[in-house]
Amino acid sequence: MSKITITLNATKLRNLVTKREFEAKDGTKMQVSEVKFELVEVKEPKIIHEGNGYKLSKTHFASVIQTKEEREAKAETIFIGEGITTIWEEKQNVFSAIPVSEAEETDDLPWD
């Protein structure tokens, strides 16, 4: 099992906020502020921390979306954040049930 946690630089995000208007199904005009970015998987993940039963690995980076012209001109990528994946190690835990003796049973349960 794993999960990805994304951390974005808020200072850089402020410059990327765009406003968009659209008409809802009921005809009302809606306006939203949004930030669009790309989340890209790195070629070789890097383990940055190992704990008790888990590993934190830098697996993604977030960047500003480039236009076709910017890509062709080989413009510098603007990085705005990173993605850290938490990888939980699956352990074969065997739990044994301990029977409750009759002396430990309680009969004062509210639904009895």
Residue 52 in any domain: the answer is yes
Q: How many domains does the chain have?
A: 1
Name, in order, each residue with C-beta under 8 angstroms of 44's C-beta and a sequence gap of 6 or more. Answer: none
Residue 21 in any domain: the answer is yes
Instruction: Answer yes or no: is pLDDT of 22 > 90.
Output: yes
Instruction: Answer yes or no: is pLDDT of 109 > 60.
Output: no
Helix H, strand E, coil C: the string for 57-78 is EEEEEEEECCCHHHHHCCCCCC
Residue 41 in any domain: the answer is yes
Q: What is the pLDDT of residues 40-90, one digit of tens each?
A: 999 999 999 998 888 899 999 999 999 999 999 999 999 999 999 998 887
pLDDT at site 81:
92
Instruction: Answer yes or no: is pLDDT of 94 > 80.
Output: no
Instruction: Answer yes or no: is pLDDT of 112 > 60.
Output: no
Residue 28 in any domain: the answer is yes
Domain extent, residue 12, equals 2-88
Residue 60 in any domain: the answer is yes
